Amino acid sequence: MAKKFLSGNEAFAYGIRLARPQVISAYPITPQTIVVEKLSEFVEDGSLKAEFIHVESEHSALSCAMGASSVGARAFTATSSQGLLYMAEGLPYAAGGRFPIVMMNANRSTALPWNIYGDQRDSISQLDSGWIQAYAENAQEALDLALMSFYIAEHKKVSTPFMANLDGFVLTHTYEVADVPSQQQADEFLPAFETENKMSLDTPKNLGFSAGPDTNTYFKYKEHIGILNVKEVVREAEERFEKVFGRHYTGLTESYRTEDADYILITLGSISGLVREVVDKLRNQGRKAGLLRIRYLRPFPNEEIADALKNAKAAAVLEKDISFGNEGTVYTNVNSALQKAGISIPVSDYIGGLGGKNISAEEIEGIFSSIAKEKTVVEFLGIGGEDSGG
Amino acid sequence: MAVNAKTLNETEFFYGHKACAGCGGSLAVRIALKVLGENSFAVLPAGCMSAVGFNFPQLCFGNNAIISTFAGTASMLTGVEAGLRAQGITDFHAVGFAGDGGTADIGLQALSGAIDRNDDILYICYDNEAYMNTGIQKSSLTPFGARTTTTPAGKNIHGNLRPKKNMFEIVAAHGIPYAATASVGYLNDFMRKVEKAKSIKGTKYIHILAPCPTGWGIKTNETVEAAKEVVDCGLWYLAEYENGEFTLNHRPKEFSSVESYLKKQSRFRHLTDNDIEIITASRDKKWEYINKNFR
């Protein structure tokens, strides 16, 4: 293991190199570019033996990755924002084809208006595409996720593509110290990709076929079961990971001081670090605050959320997403989890960080004060603009 | 030994499908796979051939085959080729079969990208001159004057207003290692071209004219005849591009009647003498260019 000073993108690229992908197809988009530049350098210097395909669009990036995966090759791509939307046709295609491709998505706002900074509307808009969706908090988790994503996606019980999300700039471009494991350790953790869902000379297959009304539900149900199986496979992957690398992860969610918390803030991604600090501050003041960080949005951690909130008096969701005409999508999902578990507490939704807008510690403290009022609200943070006199 | 009807592989790789009787596209796919053999990995986009061949559980390819997204024939083909090569597998042919819409319209960007990278793939465009799978709509390879469901022929507009996009020379302009035109009316020529493409490294493109009786309004037993006649009357030509040079493979001694070719097809039946003159003049201009620039 070697300690390195890395940005989130670079850390992820190191993780990908350790995973030995055989085909990488990628098209540049800010703020994802550094991960594919780094991988190009690894291919050039011979430290990564992969076919690097300079595709002419994101649509082709994913189409190419599917082609590689369909013959049993380990495939990686990366994108962001407009690029994710441009390849959107391929998302359910890859999931339905059960091609365990790994893709890094640098979370970025979507046009219009144009904006290159981070929010999570890009990936959350594709929540129903059938991909596993994970959200990293820091560079170390990004690197570790890069390695673990292949283990989970390629697992026989799963065989589902994996989207690893890193907050644009805040995580992709921020430098932190991260442990880079040795190749030997990585090989010990991650077995070679083996699948029967492939075309081969020994057993020719016809893949990507049509399934009419009589058989369609069967395939879609199997797809659903595959991604639900991630719940147990994540546990298996993280236990194995801890044995090899000594780092512990906590499954689909991460709880921080929630056990005895009255008021819990649920969020995801890089903002969690700041929320943790605010929780500590409030705890020092004798206020029973807690953080529940969602690490996986798909499969959705229904049970984990219900379990973490079962003794709370109230909660809120802080998310960088809005489903226009309704509310934040994470909020909708959280409410569904609580309703199914019979938990009836006030839960509010705070929509912030859109287009890279900073979320301050004061604002997070303000959210906790609002939660303590035990009322349900859906609010935007820091609207600004002329309408509000900004 | 040259591939011809006598020496052709007797194994069928594309059978049991539900293509319309007289389908030119399925003939092109069937013959190409016989030449390429069992180690073919075929990629077909959403379109006629995938619609007729991949209906679970009736899957009609004897070799490896997969449906790509409509725009993604070439890019998926690239992935298949790279994925196999990355695993040390070399004894295979990555071949794409896409129609005129899937090639010249929605798939053109991905195809251009693949040629630009010189990926080791063979791309075969079966050109039936319209979106036949969705019910005969105009593509950029629909010829001038043709009636389609989106270019109706009436008093004001006589069918499609634009000429066929020149895919062969667009592809050649990339500096591709090998490109060719062909017709299901001249199968020996097509087989020879597929055989040749097999042995060339890098990107190969074959554009084969493949009549669609349903869309063209001809009888199901007239497919091959129409595909011959379009070459004989000079509205299509058999050529190759290699090493930066164009070669004409077949020069009709004298052109057969353009009017006779057109009037046999219901999609052209509305054309006026003036329309036919325009088509004939554009043919003559094209051949002037061919005579000047092709060997």
Each residue's pLDDT tens digit, A27-39: 999 999 999 999 9
Q: Is the pLDDT of residue A390 over 70?
A: no
Question: Measured between alpha carbons, how far is B294 from B181 in angstroms, rounded to an integer?
Answer: 13
Q: What is the mean pLDDT of residues A253-274?
A: 98
**Domain contains B136:** yes
Lookup result for tokens 């208006």: A113
The percent of residues above 90 in pLDDT, for chain A, comes to 98
Q: State whether residue B206 is helix, strand or coil.
A: strand
Distance CA A41, CA A13 (A): 10
Residue B140 pLDDT exceeds 90: yes
Whether A89 and chain B come into contact, CB under 8 Å, resolves to yes
Report which DSSP code applies to A318.
E
User: Residue A56: which of B61, B79, B112 has the nearest Cβ?
Assistant: B112
Chain A partners of B71 at a C-beta cutoff of 8 Å? 59, 63, 89
| A64 chain-B contacts, CB cut-off 8 A | 75-76, 78-79, 82
For residues B92 and A201, the answer to whether their CB atoms sit within 8 Å is yes
Choose, out of B87, B109, B120, the residue to mutate when testing the contact with A (most A CBs < 10 Å): B87
Identify the CATH number of the domain defined by range A2-245: 3.40.50.970
Tokens matching residue A116: 């290159």
**Range B258-264, long-range pairs (CB < 8 A, 24+ positions):** B258/B233, B258/B234, B258/B283, B260/B229, B260/B233, B261/B226, B261/B229, B261/B230, B261/B232, B261/B233, B261/B235, B262/B145, B264/B218, B264/B222, B264/B226, B264/B229
Q: Burial of B116 by CB count in 10 Å (0-12 exposed, 13-18 middle, 19+ buried)?
A: middle
Residues of B in contact with A210 (CB under 8 A): 50-51, 54-56, 67
How far apart are the CA of B84 and the nearest CA of chain A, in angstroms?
6
Cis peptide preceding B57, ω within 30 of 0? yes
Three-class SS of residue A303?
helix
> What is the ipTM for the molecules in this complex?
0.96
Residue B34 falls within a domain, yes or no? yes
Tens-digit pLDDT profile for residues B61-102: 999 999 999 999 999 999 999 999 999 999 999 999 999 999
Predicted confidence at residue B1, as pLDDT, reads: 64
What is the least distance, in Å, from the CA of B10 to any CA of chain A?
Answer: 19
Domain that holds residue B272: 24-293
pLDDT category at A321 given cuts 50, 70, 90 is very high
> Which chain B residues touch A70 with a CB distance below 8 Å?
66, 76, 79-80, 83
Confidence class of residue A387 from pLDDT cuts 50, 70 and 90? Answer: low
Task: Assess contact for B98 and B54: CB atoms under 8 A.
Answer: no
User: What one-letter code names the amino acid at A114?
Assistant: W
* Residue A210 dihedral angles phi and psi, to the nearest 5°: -90, 145
Chains A and B form CB pairs within 8 A to the count of: 155
Give residue B2's pLDDT band: very low, low, confident or very high (50, 70, 90): confident
H helices present in chain A, as ranges: 8-18, 33-44, 58-69, 81-86, 90-96, 121-124, 139-154, 183-189, 213-228, 230-245, 272-284, 302-309, 329-340, 361-371
Three-state DSSP class for residue B50: helix
Average pLDDT over residues B102-129: 98
- Measuring CA to CA, which residue among B69, B24, B13, B25 is closest to residue B43? B69
Does residue B19 belong to any structural domain of this protein? no
In total, how many domains does chain B have? 1
Question: Does residue A197 sit at the B interface (CB-CB below 8 Å)?
Answer: no
Contact A208 B66 (CB under 8 A): yes
Q: Is the pLDDT of residue A388 over 60?
A: no
Domain at B185, CATH number: 3.40.50.970
B110/chain A closest Cα distance in angstroms:
6
Report the residue from B61, B113, B117 with minimal CB separation from A206. Answer: B61
Annotate B199-236 with b (16+ C-beta within 10 A) or e (fewer).
Answer: eeeebbbbbbbbbbbbbbebeeebbbebbbbbbbbbbb
Separation CA A366–CA A336 (nearest Å) = 25
Which residue in A238, A242, A8 sits closest to A118, CA to CA?
A: A8
Mean pLDDT of A254-264: 98
What amino acid occupies position A45? D
- Average pLDDT of the segment spanning A347-369: 97
> Is B18 among the domain residues?
no
Nearest-Cα distance to chain A for B117, in Å, is 8
Give which of A248, A291, A296, A5 is closest to A139, Cα–Cα: A5
- What are the CA-CA distances from residue B164 to residues A181, A251, B288 (Å)? 57, 57, 17
* Bridge partner list, A77: A103
Q: What is the DSSP string of A210-254?
A: B--HHHHHHHHHHHHHHHHTHHHHHHHHHHHHHHHH-----TTEE
User: Can you name the residues that pair with B124 across neighbouring β-strands?
Assistant: B97, B206
B4 falls within a domain: no
Q: Whole-model pTM? A: 0.97
Q: Measuring CA to CA, which residue among B210, B231, B234, B237 is closest to residue B294?
A: B237
Is A2-245's fold the same as A253-388's? yes
Task: Determine the Cα–Cα distance for residues B39 and B6; give it in Å rounded to an integer.
Answer: 21
Mean pLDDT (whole number) for A325-342:
98
pLDDT of A155:
98
pLDDT at A119 over 50: yes
Residue with tokens 């500590």: A280
Q: Give the pLDDT score at A385.
A: 79
Distance CA B187, CA B290 (A): 22
Peptide bond just before B177 cis, omega within 30 deg: no
Nearest C-alpha neighbor of B102 from the set B51, B147, B153 = B51
How many C-beta neighbours within 10 Å does residue A43 have?
16
Whether B162 shows a pLDDT value over 50: the answer reads yes
Q: Tokens standing for A21?
A: 């992908």
User: How is A334-378 classified by DSSP, letter by letter?
Assistant: HHHHHHHTT----EEEEE--GGG----HHHHHHHHHHHTTT---E
Residue among A296, A284, A297, A295 nearest A257 (CA): A284
- Residue-averaged pLDDT of chain B: 97
Q: How far is B86 from chain A (nearest CA, A)?
A: 6
Please answer yes or no on whether A199 and B91 come within 8 Å at the CB atom: no
Domain ranges of chain A: 2-245, 253-388
pLDDT, tens digit, for every residue of B184-233?
999 999 999 999 999 999 999 999 999 999 999 999 999 999 999 999 99
| C-alpha to C-alpha distance for A365 and A11, rounded to whole angstroms | 31
pLDDT band at A129 (very low <50, low <70, confident <90, very high): very high
Strand pairing report for A75-79 and A102-107: parallel
Q: What's the one-letter identity of residue A171? A: L
Distance CA B233, CA B230 (A): 5
* Domain with residues A253-388, CATH architecture: 3-Layer(aba) Sandwich (3.40)
Burial class (CB in 10 A: 0-12, 13-18, 19+), A204: middle
Residue B172 within a domain: yes
State pLDDT tens for residues A189-234: 999 999 999 999 999 999 999 999 999 999 999 999 999 999 999 9
Average pLDDT of the residues of chain A? 97
**B64 strand-pairing partners:** B41
Q: How far apart are CA A269 and CA A267, in angstroms?
A: 7
Bridge pairing between strands B58-59 and B54-55: antiparallel
